[in-house]
């Protein structure tokens, strides 16, 4: 016996009659995810804005701490995101969907909490890790104190990530935007109160910012728990019924699909971290120009990333339903939407680079005279970069929809690190291109990954990727 209703759940969306219906369904699902992704970038920027006023040492400590924290937190969220294609396929199959969805959600949370405990152990040794990486001892000590507090937000952060994924898969993606907006508000308020000691609160400085992050992520998790209790559609799944009961076969399925996703995200994140290190070996001006150009590209990337998240669910529904025509239509629509947007953003970057750069720095200030032309060079490469970055993001998303994650992980390892980093290092230090060569290397890596992923998607029938593999 199991808690809750046993009647089959309907599809999260009705089967589309054609590409236009699919485009409408995909856009409806992707829009709040894109908006939430953009808000999440604002949440991450809040700590930098507040801590930056404390001083260079504190900013450096927070930057190092947040980099390590985010790298590991999003790796675990990537691991648990395997719940999305599983839930979508279960809804597409219709049979016993309520029970099967509950199993996936429960085991995603189990796996996420278990992985979070390992991450917390790593973060507790943050100062030692930074010292081993030959960082300044004062920066390492400050980052260590920062991480000693911040590590307590790992579990609520992962649970919020799981519940956001589940809500989207169950047709309630719209909740992502207000919940992330709540997190942004909590982060601003808690930083204002605790970093500088406003409204009678103690002035805690760097540690106050860490507490603010704990408050923000805990607030996100609590908001999602409340939503799952009051939303009529979500409530009928009774997702927290018998939460203590293990389902080891489903846990293994989540790990099997999720570990490659986690490693793919780590490979990509580490590539851009490695590119920043290469820039630092060239010069400070190059690092500043790189940061500006990369932030502009990262904002644009949130659109295909949100489309990819939605595509995993739409393709997963079709995959579970065993409808090959729908699988093809869902994938084709997602790829067209994601790549099409990036084409528009590429043209905009090519035509008006100074306009985008002016959002980050004063392009007419004398102190930025060397930074602006470099950033414009990097954005010229980023215009090409945009198309292939969107293609690889959505390509990975549609393949996840048919539960194909292991080979895409190997593609990412080869493309990002053999081609991408190798080309960046060779052009950056073996030619006069310098920083522009590093950006060409990044674009080359993304191009290889996008071509291989799109080929794999086009060959899905020959490769046998459409055989259901649900537990």
Cα–Cα distance, 228 to 416 (Å, whole number) = 38
Of 246, 219, 261, 264, residue with least CA distance to 111: 246
| Tokens encoding 336 | 């067209």
Q: Sign of the CA dihedral 101, 267, 447, 356?
A: positive
3-state secondary structure 162-191: HHHHHHHHCCCHHHHHHHHHHHHHHHHHHH
Q: DSSP code of 11?
A: P
Separation in Å, CA 172 to CA 30, 111, 308: 11, 23, 16
Cα–Cα distance, 150 to 415 (Å, whole number) = 33
Of 339, 343, 335, residue with least CA distance to 315: 335
| Tokens encoding 345 | 């953003």
Predicted TM-score (pTM) of the model is 0.90
Beta carbons of 342 and 447 less than 8 angstroms apart? no
Cα–Cα distance, 77 to 165 (Å, whole number) = 9
Beta carbons of 212 and 51 less than 8 angstroms apart? no
Separation in Å, CA 165 to CA 134, 169, 246, 278, 352: 38, 6, 20, 35, 36
Of 399, 378, 379, 377, residue with least CA distance to 450: 399
Beta carbons of 260 and 409 less than 8 angstroms apart? yes
pLDDT in tens, the chain (471 residues): 333 333 333 444 467 768 899 999 999 999 999 999 999 988 888 877 888 788 878 888 887 888 889 889 999 999 999 999 999 998 888 755 788 889 999 999 999 999 999 999 999 999 999 888 777 888 889 999 999 999 999 999 999 999 999 999 998 999 999 999 999 999 999 999 999 999 999 999 999 999 999 999 999 999 999 999 999 889 888 888 778 888 899 999 999 999 999 999 999 988 988 888 898 889 888 888 888 888 899 889 999 999 999 999 999 999 999 999 999 999 999 999 999 999 999 999 989 999 999 988 888 888 888 889 999 999 999 888 888 999 999 999 999 999 999 999 999 999 999 999 999 999 999 999 999 999 999 999 999 999 999 999 999 999 999 875 433
Cα–Cα distance, 41 to 56 (Å, whole number) = 22
- 109 CB contacts (<8 Å, ≥6 apart)? 80, 159, 162, 243
Q: What DSSP letter does each residue of 327-375 carry, written as one string?
A: HHHHHHHHHHHHHHHHHHHHHHHHH-HHHHHTTTS-TT-GGGTTHHHHH
pLDDT at 364: 87
| Tokens encoding 98 | 């309520």
- 71 CB contacts (<8 Å, ≥6 apart)? 266, 269, 270, 273
Q: For tokens 């076969």, what's the residue?
A: 249
Q: DSSP code of 96?
A: T
């Amino acid at each position: 016996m199991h808690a809750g209703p046993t009647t089959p759940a309907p599809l999260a969306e009705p089967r589309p009659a054609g590409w236009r219906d699919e485009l409408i369904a995909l856009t409806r699902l992707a829009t709040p995810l894109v908006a939430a992704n953009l808000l999440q970038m604002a949440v991450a920027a809040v700590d930098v804005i507040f801590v930056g006023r404390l001083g260079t040492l504190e900013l450096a400590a927070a930057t190092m701490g947040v980099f390590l924290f985010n790298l590991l937190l999003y790796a675990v969220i990537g691991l648990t995101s395997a719940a999305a294609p599983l839930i979508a396929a279960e809804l597409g199959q219709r049979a016993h969907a309520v029970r099967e969805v509950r199993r996936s959600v429960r085991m995603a949370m189990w796996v996420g909490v278990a992985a979070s405990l390992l991450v917390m152990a790593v973060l507790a040794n943050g100062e030692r890790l930074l010292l081993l990486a030959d960082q300044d001892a004062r920066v390492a000590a400050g980052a260590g104190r920062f991480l000693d507090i911040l590590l307590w937000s790992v579990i609520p952060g992962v649970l919020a990530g799981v519940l956001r994924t589940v809500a989207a898969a169950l047709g309630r993606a719209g909740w992502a935007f207000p919940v992330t907006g709540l997190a942004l508000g909590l982060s601003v308020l808690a930083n204002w109160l605790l970093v500088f000691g406003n409204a009678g609160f103690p002035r805690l400085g760097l540690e106050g910012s860490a507490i603010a992050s704990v408050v923000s992520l805990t607030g996100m998790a609590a908001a999602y728990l409340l939503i799952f209790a009051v939303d009529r559609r979500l409530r009928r799944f009774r997702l927290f019924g018998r939460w203590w009961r293990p389902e080891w076969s489903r846990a293994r399925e989540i790990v099997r699909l999720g570990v490659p996703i986690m490693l793919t995200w780590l490979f990509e994140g580490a590539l851009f971290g490695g590119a920043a290190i290469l820039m630092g070996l060239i010069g400070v001006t190059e690092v500043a120009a790189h940061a500006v150009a990369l932030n502009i590209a990262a904002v644009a990337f949130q659109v295909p990333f949100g489309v990819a998240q939605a595509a995993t669910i739409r393709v997963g529904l079709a995959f579970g339903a065993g409808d090959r025509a729908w699988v093809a239509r869902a994938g084709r629509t997602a790829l067209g939407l994601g790549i099409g947007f990036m084409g528009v953003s590429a043209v905009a970057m090519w035509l008006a680079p100074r306009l985008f750069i002016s959002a980050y720095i004063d392009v007419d200030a004398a102190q930025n005279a060397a930074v602006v032309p470099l950033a414009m060079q990097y954005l010229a490469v980023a215009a090409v970069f945009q198309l292939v970055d969107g293609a690889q993001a959505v390509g990975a998303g549609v393949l996840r929809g048919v539960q194909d994650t292991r080979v895409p992980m190997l593609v990412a390892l080869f493309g990002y690190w053999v081609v991408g980093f190798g080309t960046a290092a060779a052009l950056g230090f073996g030619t006069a291109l310098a920083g522009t060569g590093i950006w060409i290397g990044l674009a080359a890596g993304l191009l290889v990954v996008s071509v291989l992923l799109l080929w794999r998607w086009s060959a899905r029938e020959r490769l046998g990727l459409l055989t259901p593999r649900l537990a």
